[in-house]
Amino acid sequence: MHIPSVKDQVSAEEWQIRVDLAACYRLVAMYGWSDLVFTHISARIPGPEHHFLINPYGLMFDEITASSLVKVDQQCNKIIDSPFPVNPAGFVIHSAVHEARDDVQCVLHTHTRAGVAVSAQKCGVLPISQQSTFVLASLAYHEYEGVAFRDEEKPRLQADMGHANFLMLRNHGLLVAGKSIADAFLSMYTFEATCQIQLAAQAGGELTQVNPLIVKGVAEAMRVQTGGLGGAFVWPSLIRKIDRADESYKL
């Protein structure tokens, strides 16, 4: 496909966000978290307009480029013309979070087997791994209401999420909110690992749970672990990883 560059139509700041978001899509595909074309990662563009970028519906995650990302407003109107549509269900979920959370730049949602499997368990996330403690420190749940294409669901999703950064969509999948694209990716990496570990552990014997006091102190542990940088600590190495495979996301 030939997708014309929009680099000369946007600010340098927006272009960098586009490049980082396209890289995030490629990384999600590389790590096996994509579900054909059916999930989304969105990023808010700074400014009072509350515009954000989302994937062109119909493209695989490993096809997405900085220029192919669709810029929309809160009513899903395209700000820059694009031949691609936006998924209504994806728009409802992502716009709900962006609308309620000014502290969030990036929302990442997946339908992985491990994530959906744990979302279907009554117990939800169990405190049985180091990874789970990071999730449990900021975790909320939202009950399944069917495919999320109705605006009437947005207030309930917003209320359930509150100020949490990890949201388990019951019988549906995983969602994370990050102050940056790098933060969101690291959070999903941790969330996905938490679910995979839980399913593997449940296939064995009796489980040992982490002391609740450790969960309470996990925010400081994460700060120390990443040198206070959060996702920015690992993002440069992830960019090098994706660059070694394919740099076309930058177009």
H, E, C per residue of the chain: CCCCCCHHHCCHHHHHHHHHHHHHHHHHHHCCCCCCCCCCEEEECCCCCCCEEECCCCCCHHHCCCCCCEEECCCCCECCCCCCCCCHHHHHHHHHHHHHCCCCCEEEEECCHHHHHHHCCCCCCCCCCHHHHHHHCCEEEECCCCCCCCHHHHHHHHHHHCCCCEEEECCCEEEEEECCHHHHHHHHHHHHHHHHHHHHHHCCCCCCCCCHHHHHCHHHHHHHHCCCCHHHHCHHHHHHHHHHHCCHHHC
Residue-wise pLDDT for 200-218, tens only, equals 999 998 999 999 888 877 7
Of the pLDDT bands very low, low, confident and very high (cuts 50, 70, 90), residue 147 is: confident
- Give yes or no for residue 59 having a pLDDT over 60: yes
- Averaged pLDDT for residues 17-35: 98
- Give yes or no for residue 51 having a pLDDT over 90: yes
This prediction's pTM: 0.93
